[in-house]
Structure formats: C-alpha cells, structure tokens
Amino acid sequence: MSFSLPKYFGVNEHKMDPKFRVSIPSAWRPEDGEQLILRNLTDCSIPHIQVLTEAALAKAIADIEKTECTSGQMRDAIQLLYRSIQIVRISNQGKLQIPKEWSLQANIPAESKVILSGSGEYFEIYEPSVFSAIDSAQKSSVSGTMAHTHLFPK
C-alpha cells in the first residue's frame, strides 16, 4: 500500500504585510496558472480564512451532492458555498492577497502575525490566539477519543 502526504500539512507562522498580503510557503504554492479559492468562514464562532484548490472545491460540491437532501436544499447549499468564495492567484513573489474586509473579519489586521495551518486538501489562515485555542481544544479532544491508537497520548 502506497501513501503520499497531502499538499498542505504542518503549521507556518507568517506576517500579514501592510497591503493584507501573506507569504505562502513554496511547497504550498500552486502550479503555474492554477487558481486558489479563498473562503471567508466563521465555524463555531471562530473566524478564519480557508484556502482551497479547485479540486478541493469540486470535492466539497460533490460532498453536498451526495447528501440526503432535496435538490432544492442542495442547490441552496451550493449557492451559499459559491457566495462565500473568491478566486485568487499567488503573486510572483509568493504572496496571497487577502481582501481587507475578510482579513479584518478574521481579526487579522495589517502587519500582524498569522498562522497558516495545513489541513490536507486545503489550508487555513488564523489569528495566532484563535489558532492556539483551536489547537488546544483539538489536542484535548483527540487525545481522549484516540488514546487507544497511541498516536495521540493523553
């Protein structure tokens, strides 16, 4: 059985520049001409920015279409998803432009530190204290439910 790591893994700390741009690690940059999709999210009252590939967005749409919902509910979910995204490209300098309004909604002012957190098929951008709280909560939850695997000790 073969296994390969997903594109987005690990955690990187960077700084938002004065123009609301953040440097993306070179391993995370898309191939020439490939677009990325920004999604402005607030999950469980936690504001952040999700960065997806076109393939990850297609998978999200396919997941919606596989649900046990009516066609109208699926259409509404897909429309809501499309309304929450913006297509972007990485600059030649490796920087990702975040819309100022989105950055401020995620509590990330210009010239502040940000955390880029890999999530397999996508990555997320957080204000550091928000990421720290999420990371601690996830570690606590996973170490309890997955202790039997010995991968996540208590």
DSSP structure string for 46-79:
EEEEEEEEHHHHHHHHHHHHTSS--HHHHHHHHH
CATH tag, 11-149:
3.40.1550.20
Question: pLDDT tens-digit profile of 61-79?
Answer: 999 999 888 989 999 999 9
Q: Is the pLDDT of residue 85 over 90?
A: yes
pLDDT at 134: 86
pLDDT at 153: 63
For residue 85, give both structure tokens.
């995204």
pLDDT at 100: 94
Higher pLDDT, 34 or 43: 34
Structural element, H or E, at residue 4: none
Q: Could you give the CA distance from residue 123 to residue 62 in angstroms, rounded to a whole number?
A: 19
pLDDT at 69: 87
Q: Confirm if 127 and 114 have CB atoms less than 8 A apart.
A: yes
Q: Could you give the CA distance from residue 154 to residue 10 in angstroms, rounded to a whole number?
A: 21
Return the C-alpha torsion angle 148, 150, 153, 154, nearest 10: 10
The values of phi and psi at residue 84, to 5°, are: -100, 10
- Weakest-pLDDT range from 23-27, 83-87, 101-105, 144-148: 144-148
Where do the structural domains in the chain lie, given as residue ranges?
11-149
Please state the pTM of the whole predicted model: 0.86
